[in-house]
Structure 1
């Protein structure tokens, strides 16, 4: 079985390609240097050469502030790119799994979002991702969307200066005596290795439709930092940020916890709780 991983050198794509290879998939690692997914002609050319049975798209313009500054570019990558992939896959009977985000919601529900909840994004990034989801899901049995939340992995996160939240906290703990972190944004931090395992499960089943695929449970960024320092044995003083201390340049949901309802209903949910995922991540460092 041949799988094309688009964005294969990214934070999630790297772990995903490795997980597929461990399960004996023949993996074509497609990077931004190989394909600009916002170019529909290039999508057809590259996938026509690779001829995969499965396509997993992890590529996106996901710097929220950059999306707000360059909305046309955001839609070209996150929406038109997804449309081009969906069209090729539908025409050729290829299973497409497109990775999306918890930022499709506004956070006002204040309890875990399920797949049947209506999206209501607060920013350009979220809106462009919702549009991309719609293109993929409109293809029927060949398309699947997996929404993720608060991801962190061992590979560099280019959109965040090369550091994910865990790495940033460990760096600050080594440089400072005191660290302040916001305590009013709730999410589910999720290890990319765990997401990769979940993606493999979906690809094995070739399950179409919309899925939430995050770790179980929820926490604030402050609680997440607290657990990071505890597990890593860091003695830095951690305090909740003062109101308005770190003002957001772009509106973001204050609550973006996802419930893996669709995966559970099909018996496909292989995710663990977020604390276990963090322990495994730190044990590899």
Structure 2
């Protein structure tokens, strides 16, 4: 199976490259393929002739999406459409990474694959547009919705992930305000990469459509930050719970966006491990990397 990974130097992309290493993997960065350019996308993929393309590329700076709507739509919407058209012609599988932000957060139990989306912000809306294009243009597709990603490669576009931000800010500020009324599932990219590979095994590759993949359990951003501090031996007294209204973000975010999956269950695929276990492993790996 020849697998091309778009966004191969990002948080998730770099872990996907490692997980698929040893097989026929083609890492692609922005310098290799510009998904907003249909002719170039077509040409690159035609030359590679992949069996599967995993697209991790996105415009995902949530605040910037509100002011740079055209760019967000171009990357998250049109870029997805270009990939879908190209791969339909090649008869290849498209695995596209989407987000929990397609939901409005009005539920109080995990969102499943067939729950109706209703995004609150531009990022979620443009990702939903991308999903729509893929569902209508590429017959062999997986849309993987996930949430709260963090990984060892960090997020270059955001200058690091949530964990990096918390551990940097605690050095600079006597008190950190973290929202406690937005509940999600933080997800380790290493776990997600392995689960995507499992999904693509031969006996499961015909169950196309939307699939939710996130670590198990749930927490608020405050609870996530508190566990990060605990694992780093830091004083959580520096953390202060605030509401979304007090935090005064320019962007509306869902108050509840926990993802559950009946699709994985129907395929006989085990759920991802609890987010706490994943975070412990990540923090241990992060410390080891810092020492080295």
Q: Which residue of 1 aligns with 2:247?
A: 246
Residues 46 and 90, structure 2, Cα contact 8 Å, conserved in 1 = no
Distance 1:150 1:233 in 2: 23
Q: Cα 1:37–1:225, aligned 2, differ >3 Å: closer, same or farther?
A: same
Distance 1:67 1:180 in 2: 23
Q: Which residue of 2 aligns with 1:4?
A: 4
Q: Which residue of 2 aligns with 1:201?
A: 198
Of 170, 176, 179, the match for 1:179: 176
Deviations 1:222-277 (A, max 9, x none): 11111111122112422212664321111111111110221111112441111011
Deviations 1:19-70 (A, max 9, x none): 111xx32111111111111111111011112111110000011111222112
Q: Which residue of 2 aligns with 1:66?
A: 64
Distance 1:104 1:269 in 2: 24
Q: Which residue of 2 aligns with 1:43?
A: 41
Q: TM-score if structure 2 supplies the norm length?
A: 0.92
Structure 1 portions without partners, runs of 5+: none
Distance 1:110 1:71 in 2: 30
Q: Cα 1:70–1:220, aligned 2, differ >3 Å: closer, same or farther?
A: same
Which stretch has the larger CA shift, 150-159 or 189-198? 150-159
Residues 179 and 236, structure 1, Cα contact 8 Å, conserved in 2 = no
Report how many residues are paired: 282
Distance 1:135 1:262 in 2: 21
Q: Which residue of 1 aligns with 2:52?
A: 54
Q: Which residue of 1 aligns with 2:289?
A: none
Q: Cα 1:242–1:101, aligned 2, differ >3 Å: closer, same or farther?
A: closer
Q: Cα 1:36–1:140, aligned 2, differ >3 Å: closer, same or farther?
A: closer
Structure 2 portions without partners, runs of 5+: 287-292
Q: TM-score if structure 1 supplies the norm length?
A: 0.94
Task: Tell me, yes or no, if structure 1 residue 261 matches structure 2 residue 262.
Answer: yes
Of 136, 143, 147, the match for 2:141: 143
Residues 215 and 274, structure 1, Cα contact 8 Å, conserved in 2 = yes
Of 132, 141, 164, the match for 2:161: 164
Describe how 1:74-93 pairs up with structure 2 within 5 A: 74-93=72-91
Once the two structures are TM-superposed, the CA of residue 176 in structure 1 deviates from its matched residue by: 4.3
Residues 180 and 243, structure 2, Cα contact 8 Å, conserved in 1 = no
Once the two structures are TM-superposed, the CA of residue 139 in structure 1 deviates from its matched residue by: 4.4
